[in-house]
Structure 1
Amino acid sequence: MISTIAAVALPLLGTASPVAHRTVEMDGKNYDLTLVAPTTITAGVPVPVGGHGYNPGQGIFVALCAIPATVSPSDPGTFTSRPSPCLGPRGAGGTSHRIVNGATGEHTSPYGPDGSFRVTLTLQPKIADGVECDVDVRCAVVTRADFTATDDRRLDLYVPVRFARK
Structure 2
Amino acid sequence: MLLVPVAIVVLPIVTHENQGRSGQAGFVEEWPTSVTAAGDDERTRSFDVLSPEPGASVDTSALTPGDRLVVSGTGYDASRGIYVAICKIPDDTGSKPGPCIGGVPDQQGATEGTVGAVEYAPSNWVNDDWAWKLFGARGYDDAASGTFTAYLEVGDPVGENLDCRVDACGIFTRNDHTALSDRAQDLYVPVAFAP
Provide the residue aligned with 1:151 in structure 2: 181
8 Å contact from structure 1 (residues 86, 127) kept in 2: no
Displacement of 1:64 after TM fit?
0.7
Pairing 1:82–2:112 present: no
Q: Identify if the C-alpha distance between structure 1 residues 117 and 88 changes in structure 2 by more than 3 Å, giving closer, same or farther.
A: same
Q: What code does the residue aligned with 1:50 have?
A: S
Pairing 1:134–2:165 present: yes
- Aligned residue-pair number: 143
Partner deviation per Cα, 1:7-38 (whole Å, 9 max, x = no partner): 9xxxxxxxxx6211111244xxx311002124
Q: Identify if the C-alpha distance between structure 1 residues 101 and 130 changes in structure 2 by more than 3 Å, giving closer, same or farther.
A: closer
Pairing 1:18–2:33 present: yes
Provide the residue aligned with 1:94 in structure 2: 121
Q: Identify if the C-alpha distance between structure 1 residues 130 and 61 changes in structure 2 by more than 3 Å, giving closer, same or farther.
A: closer
Q: Identify if the C-alpha distance between structure 1 residues 64 and 127 changes in structure 2 by more than 3 Å, giving closer, same or farther.
A: farther
Q: Percent identity?
A: 29
Displacement of 1:130 after TM fit?
4.8
Consecutive unaligned residues of structure 1, counting only runs of 5 or more, are 8-16, 72-78
Q: Structure 1 length normalisation: TM-score? A: 0.75
For 1:86 and 1:111, the matched residues in 2 are separated by: 22
Of 147, 152, 163, 1:121 maps to: 152
8 Å contact from structure 1 (residues 65, 127) kept in 2: no
Q: Which is higher, the Rg of structure 1 or of structure 2?
A: 2
8 Å contact from structure 1 (residues 125, 134) kept in 2: no
CA RMSD of aligned residues (A): 2.4
Of 11, 32, 44, 2:44 maps to: 32
Pairing 1:54–2:85 present: no
Structure having the larger proportion of residues in strand: 1
Larger RCO, structures 1/2 (Cα 8 Å, 6+ apart): 2
8 Å contact from structure 2 (residues 87, 101) kept in 1: yes
Provide the residue aligned with 1:14 in structure 2: none
Provide the residue aligned with 1:110 in structure 2: 139
